[in-house]
Structure 1
């Protein structure tokens, strides 16, 4: 089968959505499928700018990128991930059909890429839309909703996104849960021996809830002065981060596993909305109990009272209270962490690839992970 994945851009730093696509590309290539991953130089988003002058300037930039892409070398590499040698990685000038190869299957991965894919001729392949989030944070709701209402075959990564697609379009979507790479993320430090250490991903996007998470950590430290926290992210250390919290920028995967997740007894996820929430699942595979906001994505793998605590979003005080409760009960914390490992084992790359191929082959949909 010839498969084309389309990502919105080629990034110099890891992204969750990109990582999943590259993992699928590698796995599919390893079993003999012909796989290509395309990244446009521009998505022509100039119309989203406010004001005529800014729109015209953005249009000029988009046109320059398009023309530059026509003369640039198109083969590319993913700087932060090892790719199967058979996977072709390309940067194309734009996502116009003339730059997209003919294939059996073509897969959009962001609302703007879906706008292009839905208009492709049949020669580009059967059209799929891998819905990884409700992306109104990156575009106007009417355009995001328009892609979810389209006739493309939808694949969702979580139950709540499946419900959203059903509500908007009336369609039942295939569900393919995001996998954990169990060759990379596993327990290396005794769960029972771990002390009061909490880890958290930082992002400057308000909806990621980092300010809520920091507030919750401060609340917990007032009760447990010996508490240590490890925060990681892709940006420089934020000024808002208290001095006692350790910050790690762009940790390598081994560091993320051994120095962050395996050093922690609890992983804190304060996001208000997540399509899935892969870092939380990775932390679970490494033996962390979870304290999280009910952001949608975590509902498929965090069960409140079984492997963590789930509180309403935008409620930093309740996040802090949940942290305090779990930090003060080592027996329960250890039991939650052990259950996390068991739950995480259900989410493997092999199982997800099987479900993805079943969707491509037109097999009946299943709403269950």
Structure 2
């Protein structure tokens, strides 16, 4: 198959959603397919507000960032994956593509309005994208007559309310990259969590919870990581790790943690949560949707109401006070996420693309 993956311009920093698609791109190359990733500077569509200034900004951004789109430094893409940068989607450039994969709602709408053959299009949905734009626009994309792939069971249930042409390809854990290297039973009062400015990640609630935990356990250590600038006024017991690579996350964060704290209000799939679980951290999470496929209450995780920092704090305190329970939850969680294999997900992903490629044109 000739496969074109359409994404927005990138800033060459680690991203869970992009990592998934880069992984699949390498897999598809290994299976003998041709893969190109095309980064777009602008994806206009009718429901988006337009003005001349915004259009000018997109043009300037295209020329300013064009060269940087030709490489991805933080992920080992196969040398045969072709990287391109274009201003927007021009259907004439993709006449030889067997499958075109749209990576978000805006790209899907943009392609649909270009009068491209929608029988060739796969729209990959990794989140309830209303967290990025107004719900009306996102639901219009979900209603498009194209094949859709979703990464989590809760998303499958939601998206099928708008279209039945939906396939579930759950995310996975690379257990060759994320594994236990520090015995679970040896860990101290260490909690890790991700920092993100998006309000739906709700990092502030996590910090409020950890302040309560620190009042009970003064020896608490917190490992916070992220691609963004360190938040101001962090407590002295919080160590911030910026732009951590895979090895640093595994050895210096996850394998040092007794507990991984996951505070999202709404989450597509908790990728960092599964990575931490594979490394032996017990999961304390909100009921954010994105943990439904692996976070089982009192079996692989302690689940709490969204935004309730007192509940989250009490769950962490319970873990620290009941070491056997923590170890049990951590072991169960590790065993469960180890079954979420890359080969299984990648094979299913490829099968969906092959089905689309065989459709009548």
TM-score range, shorter chain: over 0.9
Structure 1 residue 122 displacement after superposition: 5.7
Q: Structure 1 residue 129 and structure 2 residue 132: aligned?
A: no
The 3 A distance-change label for structure 1 pair 239 and 175 is: same
Distance in 2, matches of 1:186 and 1:84, equals 24
* Contact 2:26 2:77 survives alignment (8 Å): yes
Distance in 2, matches of 1:264 and 1:64, equals 44
Deviations 1:18-61, CA, capped at 9 Å, x for gaps: 11110000111012111111111223489856xx9xx3311222
In the TM superposition, 1:108-257 aligns within 5 A as 108-119=102-113, 126-169=120-163, 171-257=164-250
SS class of match (2:248): helix
Structure 1 residue 99 displacement after superposition: 4.3
Structure 1 residue 206 displacement after superposition: 1.3
* Higher mean C-alpha deviation, range 345-354 or range 122-131: 122-131
The 3 A distance-change label for structure 1 pair 335 and 208 is: same
Structure 1 residue 5 displacement after superposition: 1.1
SS class of match (1:362): helix
Distance in 1, matches of 2:162 and 2:66, equals 40
In the TM superposition, 1:1-369 aligns within 5 A as 1-44=1-44, 55-65=51-61, 68=63, 76-100=70-94, 102-119=96-113, 126-169=120-163, 171-362=164-355
TM-score normalized with structure 1 length: 0.91
Distance in 2, matches of 1:45 and 1:104, equals 23
RMSD: 2.2
* Contact 2:265 2:306 survives alignment (8 Å): yes
TM-score normalized with structure 2 length: 0.93
SS class of match (2:186): coil
Structure 1 residue 322 displacement after superposition: 1.0
* Higher mean C-alpha deviation, range 274-283 or range 108-117: 108-117
* Contact 1:6 1:108 survives alignment (8 Å): yes
* Higher mean C-alpha deviation, range 255-264 or range 114-123: 114-123
Distance in 2, matches of 1:76 and 1:61, equals 21
SS class of match (2:162): helix
SS class of match (1:292): strand
Deviations 1:207-258, CA, capped at 9 Å, x for gaps: 1010110011111111111111100011121014222211111111101000
* Higher mean C-alpha deviation, range 281-290 or range 117-126: 117-126
Distance in 2, matches of 1:106 and 1:74, equals 23
Deviations 1:132-165, CA, capped at 9 Å, x for gaps: 0111122221111001011111110001111111
SS class of match (2:89): coil
* Contact 1:102 1:124 survives alignment (8 Å): no
Distance in 1, matches of 2:148 and 2:256, equals 38
**Structure 2 gap ranges (5+):** 357-361
